[in-house]
């Protein structure tokens, strides 16, 4: 019996040693019950979004805007002298962010555009009328002001340090319907993302997968420190729902427009590069000996513009600005356009087989020639058209390429012969009765010398069109 009693413990011991699962099971302690404790340090704070929301949410507001729309009556009833035009009130809802304690708010321009009555609802449900300090349709930002007397309101700090990276966690906070705030989370999936293939300086967004609900336009995109890194602008969605790719206007542009409005300015002054650029494609990179297709190729230079004075040449490739790599033409345009006039920017360029550094002084686009906007009237093909001299400043205002639209441009068509002749806003007038037209003054001179027969040449979307008219 003793032998058997000794053998059994030995067999059990051998079995435990030879069976890993038996050994591991024997060593697992009882499962710990989950507990919820208050965060004890900064790292633990990021386990939950609650501390971030608590910090940021009080500065996010609801914006209600109303506009009066003149509604035309049914043409059938107008034939009988009935059905006069009526006016109706349209409303829109959006979000905004308090960025200064004295009541200055940033939102999207499309939320308040054309509105006569704007009301801001705070997170504590108080409401205040608001006035517009500055509105910029091109960057889709507007600055509002509410009067709260001596009270200091909660605000969000604007973080334009440039330290935001792809993969960072973010929250999208808005107050879309006036019944309460919404909070969604996601990550940054791209920076300097442009929806304009031409690299418009007003289009370089933070892309995020955080859901942007209807009415969240103008709301806050915040990082895990609770700082404002962007203003939610729109979402691309095939389904039409809030699930899709969201885009936010970066904090650098937000700060620029807030500073301009707070300083009494009514328009944002955007510095310009003074060069036409195009994104480096794989074929361009291969032909220039670049290791990767990255940067902006300088295709043309404006005479005596900032790029020309900085020493840029046609064929140079801008690969970095102030030590940070730029992916494409849109990124270069955005960095220059969001800088302050007079600021010195260090450009890293690829030229030939080497790399160079140049200093570009940021400056506003010049208004040369003078604007000279004029409504044309009389017995001529341009009756009812408003025209303007195209300068770099006007091109920036209209969001067009100053290299492609030199001369006199039609910017509006009213009632008159021009409408019947088929002229459109954006047409560039090149010749009238064989005379080349470079300024509004030359155009009015040609019209005063003409008779009832007219031959007009315009440039529309890069193509010349010639027409003959009798007035």
pLDDT tens digits for range 157-168? 999 887 888 999
Residue 33 or residue 176, greater confidence? 176
Residue 195 pLDDT class (50, 70, 90 cuts)? low
Does the annotation count 266 as an active-site position? no
Residue 188 or residue 13, greater confidence? 188
Residue 78 pLDDT class (50, 70, 90 cuts)? low
Residue 146 pLDDT class (50, 70, 90 cuts)? very high
CA–CA separation, 362 vs 181, rounded Å? 40
Residue 86 pLDDT class (50, 70, 90 cuts)? low
CB 186 within 8 A of CB 172: yes
- How does pLDDT run across 392-446, given as a tens digit for each residue? 999 888 878 888 888 899 999 998 899 988 899 999 999 999 899 999 999 999 9
Confidence (pLDDT) at 436: 93
| Percent of the chain scoring above 70 in pLDDT | 80
Query: How would you class 147 by CB atoms within 10 Å of its CB: exposed for 0-12, middle for 13-18, buried for 19 or more?
Result: exposed
Query: What are the beta bridge partners of residue 245?
Result: 236
Neighbours of 119 (CB within 10 A): 17
Distant-in-sequence, close-in-space partners of 40: CB < 8 Å, separation ≥ 6: none
Confidence (pLDDT) at 352: 83
Nearest to 384 by CA among 411, 363, 407: 411
Confidence (pLDDT) at 72: 58
| Residue 6 backbone phi and psi in degrees, to 5 | -75, -30
Q: Average pLDDT in the 451-459 region? A: 88
Full set of structural domains in the chain with CATH? 56-146 (2.40.10.10), 169-262 (2.40.10.10), 275-361 (2.30.42.10), 374-470 (2.30.42.10)
From residue 88, how far is each of 64, 72, 83, 116 by CA, in Å?
16, 11, 14, 13
CA–CA separation, 142 vs 133, rounded Å? 8
Please give the full DSSP string across 87-132, using - where no structure is assigned: EEEEEEEEEEEEEETTTEEEE-HHHHTT-SEEEEE-TTS-EEEEEE
The structure's pTM equals 0.74
- How does pLDDT run across 250-288, given as a tens digit for each residue? 998 999 999 999 988 888 888 999 999 999 999 999 998
Residue 18 pLDDT class (50, 70, 90 cuts)? very low
Active-site pick, 110, 223, 227, 242: 110
- How does pLDDT run across 295-316, given as a tens digit for each residue? 999 999 999 999 999 999 999 9
CA–CA separation, 60 vs 155, rounded Å? 8
The encoded tokens of residue 252 equal 């650098």
Q: Average pLDDT in the 79-99 region? A: 69
Distant-in-sequence, close-in-space partners of 342: CB < 8 Å, separation ≥ 6: 361, 362, 363
Nearest to 260 by CA among 138, 96, 113, 104: 104
CA–CA separation, 41 vs 194, rounded Å? 38
CB 347 within 8 A of CB 318: yes
Query: How would you class 113 by CB atoms within 10 Å of its CB: exposed for 0-12, middle for 13-18, buried for 19 or more?
Result: middle
Mean per-residue pLDDT of the chain = 82
Active-site pick, 95, 115, 140, 233: 140
CA–CA separation, 111 vs 237, rounded Å? 19
Q: Average pLDDT in the 88-103 region? A: 81
Is the predicted pLDDT of residue 11 greater than 50, yes or no?
no
Active-site pick, 64, 217, 242, 333: 217
Confidence (pLDDT) at 19: 44
Please give the full DSSP string across 200-223, using - where no structure is assigned: -TT--EEEE-S---TT-TT-EEE-
Confidence (pLDDT) at 153: 95
Is the predicted pLDDT of residue 32 greater than 70, yes or no?
no
Does the annotation count 95 as an active-site position? no
CA–CA separation, 449 vs 436, rounded Å? 14
Confidence (pLDDT) at 130: 94
Query: How would you class 71 by CB atoms within 10 Å of its CB: exposed for 0-12, middle for 13-18, buried for 19 or more?
Result: exposed
Is the predicted pLDDT of residue 59 greater than 80, yes or no?
yes
Element (H, E) at 69: strand 60-71
């Amino acid at each position: 019996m003793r032998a058997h009693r000794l053998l059994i413990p030995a067999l059990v011991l051998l079995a435990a040693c030879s069976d890993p699962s038996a050994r591991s099971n024997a060593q697992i302690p009882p499962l710990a019950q989950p507990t919820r404790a208050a965060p004890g340090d900064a790292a633990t704070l990021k386990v939950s979004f609650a501390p971030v929301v608590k910090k940021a949410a009080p500065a996010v507001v609801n914006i209600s805007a109303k506009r009066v729309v003149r509604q035309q009556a049914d043409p059938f009833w107008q034939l009988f002298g009935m059905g006069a035009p009526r006016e109706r009130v349209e409303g829109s809802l959006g979000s905004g962010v308090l960025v200064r304690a004295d009541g200055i708010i940033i939102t999207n321009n499309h939320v308040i555009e054309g509105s006569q009555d704007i009301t801001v609802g705070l997170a504590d449900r108080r409401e205040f009328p608001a006035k517009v300090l500055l509105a910029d349709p091109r960057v889709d930002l507007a600055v509002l002001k509410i009067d709260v007397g001596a009270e200091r309101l909660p605000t969000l700090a604007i973080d334009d340090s440039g330290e935001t990276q792809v993969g960072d966690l973010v929250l999208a906070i808005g107050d879309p319907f006036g019944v309460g705030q919404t909070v969604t989370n996601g990550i940054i999936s791209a920076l300097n993302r442009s929806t304009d293939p031409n690299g418009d300086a007003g289009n370089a967004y933070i892309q995020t997968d955080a859901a942007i609900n209807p009415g969240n336009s103008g709301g806050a995109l915040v990082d895990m420190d609770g700082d404002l890194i962007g203003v939610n602008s729109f979402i691309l969605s095939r389904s039409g729902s809030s699930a899709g790719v969201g885009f936010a206007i970066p904090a650098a542009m937000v700060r620029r427009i807030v500073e301009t409005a707070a300083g009494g300015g009514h328009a944002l002054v955007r510095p310009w590069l003074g060069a036409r650029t195009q994104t480096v494609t794989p074929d361009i990179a291969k032909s220039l000996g670049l290791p990767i297709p990255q940067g902006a190729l300088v295709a043309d230079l404006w005479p005596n513009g900032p790029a020309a004075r900085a020493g840029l040449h046609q064929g140079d490739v801008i690969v970095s600005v102030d030590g940070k790599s730029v992916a494409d033409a849109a990124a270069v345009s955005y960095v220059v356009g969001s800088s302050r006039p007079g600021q010195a920017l260090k450009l890293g360029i690829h030229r030939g087989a080497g790399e160079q550094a140049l200093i570009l002084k940021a400056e506003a686009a010049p208004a040369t020639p003078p604007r000279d906007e004029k409504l044309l009237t009389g017995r001529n093909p341009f009756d009812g058209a408003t025209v303007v001299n195209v300068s770099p400043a006007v091109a920036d205002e209209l969001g067009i390429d100053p290299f492609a639209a030199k001369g006199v441009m039609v910017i509006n068509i009213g009632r008159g012969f021009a409408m019947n002749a088929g002229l459109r806003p954006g047409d560039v007038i090149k010749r009238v009765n064989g005379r080349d037209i470079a300024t509004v003054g030359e155009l009015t001179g040609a019209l005063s010398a003409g008779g009832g027969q007219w031959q007009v040449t315009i440039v529309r979307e890069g193509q010349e069109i010639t027409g003959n008219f009798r007035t």
